[in-house]
Amino acid sequence: MSVTLRDVAELAGVSIGTASQALNHHPSVKSETRQLVYEAAGKLGYKPRRRVQTFAGSDDSLSVVGILTKHDLYDITLTNPFYSHIYAGVEEECRRRNMSVMFSSIDVDEQNYPVRWPPMIKDARIDALLLVGTVLEPTVDVLVNKVDVPITLIDSYAPGMALDSIVTDNIGGAKLAMEHLFKLGHRNIGLIGSNLKSPTSILERREGYLQTMMAHGLDPETYLIDTPLNPTGGADGLRWLLANRSDMTAVFVCNDDTATGVYQEASAQGLKIPDDLSVVGFDNTYLAQNLAPPLTTIHVEKKWMGMLGVQALAERKLYPEKPKVTIYVETQLIVRESTAPLR
């Protein structure tokens, strides 16, 4: 097992941030502390990461930012359109700061443990790392002990770890969607696209639905169906609700991709949206605008999430002792033609 900065810090009796600053010749580190770190590094045979070209104007030697997403080993599906906007935000902010960007994915097994590391991790080619999407805590834990760089999570959750994160206000967004339907007169509202094993972000959207239903004095479980978060789950969920909850007049779907399945099933059953069924999605991806009728949905500031992630990395590099920070990005209701007043 390779020696990490954490090992050096523990042997020297200092924090990881202090060890990093000492090895990078930061003037704020006392000479005696610096000597302790040097001696610990020497005893352990610690080798600092190989640095790539440093660009003028970069933030305190933060030159190359890596973006890492999880990839299930046998999954051949394309990247979720949600994340392409996050990547664009990362690239834009890195250009503004004269940084380079490296993209890669990490293969994980059925237990979400890494089985193959990308070159940018194995060869220590990066100065900081963004973990984008649902990367589960076991993977994050292994990764933190493998690389000695600042790490920020974007739309990912590792509650037991002291990592900065940028996440969507999913509960607030779900409440916006539900209150929109209530204002239109709907009460019998279904939920499609979640289950108890869903990622944290989807469970938060489910929680927003449940809270709103209860706030209006309704049984939140009546119109709830557990389904996968994909078009097939959307179609299956609507089919079950229509067969078992004939008084349902609207559905809140946990993302736009799943809403496409709802549209397909509604058409197959001879229902017209929104005359017979109002539908609200979440994410505001390109899918929402291209559906017929265009989908009312919750807009997520995806590009800003990427930009804020880079800013968080730069801040963490400058202030390694700063307390863990979680930024919740506000959402917005986008009203289109898939919702209408209850007739």
The residues that bridge with 132 in the sheet, in sequence order, are 69, 154
pLDDT for 137: 63
For the ranges 56-70, 71-85, 108-122, 206-220, the maximum mean pLDDT occurs at 206-220
- Domains belonging to the chain, first-starting first, are 5-44 (no CATH), 64-168+304-329 (3.40.50.2300), 170-300 (3.40.50.2300)
Query: Under 8 Å CB-to-CB from 234, ≥6 apart: which residues?
Result: 192, 193, 227, 253, 258, 259, 260, 261, 262, 263, 264, 265
Q: Mapping DSSP to helix (H, G, I), strand (E, B) and coil, where does residue 144 land? A: helix
pLDDT at 313: 93
CB distance 112 to 136 below 8 Å = yes
Over 90: is that where the pLDDT of 162 sits?
Answer: no
Cα maximum dimension of the chain: 78
The mean of the pLDDT values for the chain is: 85
Q: Is it the case that residue 287 has pLDDT exceeding 70? A: yes
Does residue 119 have a pLDDT over 50? Answer: yes
pLDDT class of 114 with cuts at 50, 70, 90? low
pLDDT of 2 above 80: no
pLDDT of residue 5: 76
